[in-house]
Structure formats: structure tokens, C-alpha cells
Structure 1
Amino acid sequence: MNRNHALSPALKGERRTFETDSGTISYYFANEGESGQPPLVLIHSINAAASAYEVKPIYDRYRRQRPVAAIDLPGYGFSSRRAMCYTPRLMTDAIHAWVARIAADTGAAQVDAMACSVACQYLARAAQERPECYRSIGLVSPAGVDGDPQPGANADATRGKPWLYGALTASSAVSKTLFAGLASRPSIRYFLEKTFGGKDVEPGLVDYAYRSAHQPGARHAPWSFLSGYLFSADAAGLYRRLSQPVWLAYGTRSDFSDAAARDIVQQHTASTVVSFDAGALPHFQQLEAFVAGYDRFLASLEASA
């Protein structure tokens, strides 16, 4: 790895690690507040250059108010980037292990959890499988539901295309060359502009995404993403079966958010759906409005407790 691409911590606070069957999981933790609220746990999206930096504005806002943690999912950031096929099951199990770790560290019986984009599927599955661990669920621009061809699929089914995954991974030299193009600065900026719905992309996000995509093994999880293996075949059902109160936020300026997911969540009796004049990560462009909306949602939980 070129020293110019060295990866520094994405967030303030303490960076902690623990071991799982899929390797080391890294996460950030801060507990500077005295609010007595449950920990807030944050999960970044899935793409070619993802990391916990994608939740930085939310993490920074809340770290002085309450316990807050942000994970680097397997294959991203400081977590292990093994050469293997990454799946929703692997990501969900990582969230299970991480939330259990947060509960042990803080003594909290439940967390408020928030995920972005495709990772909303993994959070929804985790909350469905262990509902007692989650007080509420936050979904930021959930993706991967439109055109769902397998609404009755089992929990381990994905949309993976073996032929595409094989083509992307068969030759190490070809795989590295292809990923070098995908992980170039112009490519990263192009996709982030699509995500933000314009050119007002936070420069720090571009730089950190570029550095993250140039770590050893950085191509492995993105190839699983691009070949469909990180998309759940039963995504629509996951959102329908949520039992916790749900807060869904999305930006109107990006294509990277599914109207189908919003329609499903709006039918939930304890849901709140809010929109922002922003892209798929509205907390970077409309932080004050985003936080105000989420705080109102949290206040409604406490009022009804």
C-alpha cells in the first residue's frame, strides 16, 4: 500500500475491535454525554469505497449527548477485508455480534439503530431476528427493494449472479486492474455526485473513500456487491416484518433510494417517513433538519413509553 493512501480513523472517540468467524470487526465508540438514553448505533452503506465516514455528521452530533457507535462492516474500513464472497448473512451476523458487544460495554438492554442504503436490509434482518435488542430502527434511503423478483425467498437467498462474480474474481491481475478504475478519484466522485444528487459532495468524504478503497483487499466486498451477493432476495418482506418503531429518511435528489421501501414502511403503524431536499445521505447536506426530525421521533418514543 502506498503511504499516501494510509487510512486514518474516520471518526473521533475510541476505535475498538473484536474477533468474529469472518475476521476482525472495527468500530468507533464515544460516550461523552449523560443523557441516559440507549446507545445510538450507526451503520454505513455498501458500495466500492464505503466506511464509517458515511455516518460522520450523525456520529459527531450525538457523541456528546449519548453513547454512540459506528461500525466498519466486514470488508470495509478497518475491518478485515478477506478474499471471500460477502453476503447479507455475514453482514447481519456482524451486526448481531456488534450490538451484543455494545450492550455488554454499556449495560444497555436496547439500542436505537440507524443504517444507510443497502445496509438497511441487514439492520432490518437483525432487528427481526433479535427484536428485544432494538428500541427503534432508523432507515436512511433504504435500497434494494425495487423489482424484487423473489418476495418469498428464504432468509439466506441473495440476488447473486455466479457468472458475474466469477468473472470479477477469476484472475487476480484482472480483478485488481478493474478495481483500480472503479476506485479512481474521478470514479468515486462520479458515484458520490450521483449519491448526493449534485456536485456539492463533502470533500472529506471523497478523500476518505479514495483512501479506503486503496487498502489491501479493498476489492473483495465490492465485487460481492456488484455481482448481487450483498442484496437480500427477501428485502421487501424484511421491512414488512419490522416490529419496532421506524424512522425513515430520504433525499429527493438521488436515485439511490427505493420508493418501494418507503411505501412498505409507510404502512407500518409506528412509522415516520420524512424527506429532505438532498441526496441519499441527507445528513451531509441537511444535518440540522435531519437531526431535528430524528429528535422528534425519539421524543415521541419517550412520551409513549
Structure 2
Amino acid sequence: MKKNIRHFFLLTALAAGTIHLVNRFIDMTAEMKNILKTESGSYYHWKNGSIFYTKRGSGSPLLLIHELNPISSSYEWCRLVKKLEKHYTVYTIDLLGCGRSDKPYLTYTNYLYVQLLTDFIHDVIGERPDVVTTGNSISFAVLAQNMNPNLLASITAINPPAMSSFDRTPDKYSSVKKTLLELPIIGTFLYNVRTHESNIRRTLQKTYFSRPQLVSSKMLDAYYEASHMGKSHGKYLMASIEGHYTDNAIGHAVKKLTVPLYIIESRSMTDAVAIADSYAHKNAAVETAYISNAGLTPQLEVPDKLLNIMRMFLHEDH
């Protein structure tokens, strides 16, 4: 009996050691191409971690915020920044838990990002910017403006999800998923399975783009690299997302907004028209527009089309 127990613990230790080595190998190889590290930028040393950001151009301030996802980073704006910096002082940011920013072990909440956005604007930008968000990042932009009415000049939301998707709260099932992902070895392994190159490719081809053939190997490498920077500690953000800690109802904040909210939906996205209409019905001042031949990130797929729509909404400094 004792011999069987010793064998069990020995096999368990060997399995854990093997998984640990696999995790480390993935971390090392994911960053070998250094696609993200070649971009020059600065760090905002925030109270919860250092935040990577870039600043380019001149004119009124424009802050670009990527999708809240540990595979995402400000790389998603790479095809749009050069076009915008001719008329704006353009800021891009890697959110806490993403890309080149720190990825601390903590519970990531919607209010955490409200604080980050508020502090970054006060400490780095120093004046009211127009803000452009992708996907679920609309939530903390809207809530930050609701809490600080003089924070933003406008919000442009690219493919925001239905407002009802933010109404979720943590429960026993989501808390178990969060706990599993946060485990030292097995949690990292589960995260690495979720962010395997093939799974990221599938996400880009089915969600981020409407035309899969436009997903280049460099884009895939950039998203894969972003997900594994910082020893795959993006798992802590993923754990909080899975646990619904980054969700927060925004309907009341959209209704009370006193700055322009522009909704840009890709027609290929599920329920695009219904989603855009739901925001417009919540607040009569909301303006909507649609873009064709694009998925979640038209800034990568059809940047010129997106730029033409943004120009209808945003004031340009010449």
C-alpha cells in the first residue's frame, strides 16, 4: 500500500514537472519573434502595474483602447495609427493584463479598468480625449464617463456587444473556472491550451476578421506573442473574465451619457443591427453606422473604410 502511494506521488510529481517544462517552453518560443517588443513606447507606472502606451502625432487627443482579451493588445491599431496621427495626438494603450503591460495576480474587475482609464487620462493625457474602443471595452469607457462627467469628449465604440452581456455576475460555476485558471501549473497549462496558436488562429479567422484569408502570419504571431508575454500571466485576466468579474451593467450609464456615443457595427457580426439599435433606443443622442466586409476588428481588416466613418464623427485638427 505504501509503495503504491509512493508511486502515485512520484508519478504526480513527474507529471507536474513535465507540464511545468511545457509551460516554460511555450512562454519562451511565443516571444521569439519579438513583434511587439520592436515598437517603441513608454510606461505609465500605475498603482497596480506598469502600463505600456504610445503617443504619436499632434492635434486634439485621441485614445484607442483594444478589446479586453488577454490575446489582444494595442497592436490591433497598427494599421490605423499612421492615418490618424496626421490630425490627432494619438494614444494607444495595452490594458493591464494584456500585451506589454504588467499582468499581476489579482482579480480584474470592471471598476479596475474604470480606475485605469480615469488615472491614465488625468496623469498622462491631461485633457479630455475622444476615446475609441473595441468590443467589450466600451463598458469601462461608458462607466468612467458616467462617474466623471468631464473625463471624455466622446466615445466611439467599434462592435460593442449587446448591453445585456454585461449584466452577468459571478456564481459558483464561474468561480470554479476562475480558481482553476489561477492554479500555478495546471492553470497555466489550461490557459496555454486556450491560447494555443491554432485556437488564436480560429478566433482571428472566425471573429476578428470576416475574411479569414486576410489573417496574416504576422498578425497571428503578434496575438500569440501578446497572450504569452509575462510568463503567460494573462491567465489571471482570463480567469476574471471567465468568472464574470469584468462585467458590469452599463444600461443606466448609456442612458445618462452627456457626451456623444458613436456605435460602429460590422454587418457580418451576429445581431449587429439589433445591438446598434438597442444602444440608440437607450439614448436618443447615440449615433450609429455600419461597415461591410469586416469582423470584430475593422481597424485591421478595412482600416480605410473605418477611417472614413470615424471622420464623420470626430473633429479633426489640421
TM-score (ref. length: structure 1)? 0.84
Q: Which residue of 2 aligns with 1:250?
A: 265
Matched, 1:46 2:68: yes
Matched, 1:86 2:99: no
Q: Which residue of 1 aligns with 2:117?
A: 95
Q: Which residue of 2 aligns with 1:240?
A: 255
Q: Which residue of 1 aligns with 2:96?
A: 74
The 8 Å contact of residues 17 and 26 in structure 1, kept in 2 or not, is answered as: yes
Among 157, 164, 169, the alignment partner of 1:146 is 164
How many angstroms apart in 1 are the aligned matches of 2:36 and 2:166? 36
Count of residues in correspondence between the two structures? 283
The 8 Å contact of residues 118 and 142 in structure 1, kept in 2 or not, is answered as: yes
Q: CA deviation at 1:61?
A: 1.5
Shift in alpha-carbon separation, 1:149–1:95, aligned structure 2, 3 A: closer
Task: Name the SS for the 1:29 alignment partner.
Answer: strand
Amino acid at match of 1:124: V
Among 182, 193, 198, the alignment partner of 2:194 is 182
How many angstroms apart in 1 are the aligned matches of 2:278 and 2:90? 29
Matched, 1:22 2:48: yes
The 8 Å contact of residues 180 and 186 in structure 2, kept in 1 or not, is answered as: no
- The within-5 A match list for 1:170-209 is 171-195=183-207, 196-203=209-216, 204-209=218-223
Q: CA deviation at 1:22?
A: 1.1
Matched, 1:275 2:281: no
Q: CA deviation at 1:285?
A: 2.2
How many angstroms apart in 1 are the aligned matches of 2:162 and 2:37? 26
Matched, 1:221 2:237: yes
Structure 2, unmatched stretches of 5+, are: 1-26
TM-score (ref. length: structure 2)? 0.80
How big is each residue's C-alpha offset from its partner over 1:206-250, in whole Å with a ceiling of 9 and x where there is no partner? Answer: 110101112221221112112222121x12223222211121111
Identity %: 19
How big is each residue's C-alpha offset from its partner over 1:24-65, in whole Å with a ceiling of 9 and x where there is no partner? Answer: 11111112x4xx4x2000100022401111222222211232
How big is each residue's C-alpha offset from its partner over 1:250-283, in whole Å with a ceiling of 9 and x where there is no partner? Answer: 1121339694454223553333211111111122
Shift in alpha-carbon separation, 1:148–1:98, aligned structure 2, 3 A: closer
Shift in alpha-carbon separation, 1:11–1:245, aligned structure 2, 3 A: farther
Q: Which residue of 2 aligns with 1:124?
A: 142
Matched, 1:62 2:84: yes
Task: Name the SS for the 2:92 alignment partner.
Answer: strand
RMSD: 2.5
Task: Name the SS for the 2:164 alignment partner.
Answer: coil
Task: Name the SS for the 1:30 alignment partner.
Answer: strand
Structure 1, unmatched stretches of 5+, are: 151-157
The 8 Å contact of residues 156 and 263 in structure 2, kept in 1 or not, is answered as: yes
The 8 Å contact of residues 254 and 282 in structure 2, kept in 1 or not, is answered as: no
Task: Name the SS for the 1:49 alignment partner.
Answer: coil
Which protein has the larger Cα radius of gyration, Structure 1 or Structure 2?
Answer: 2
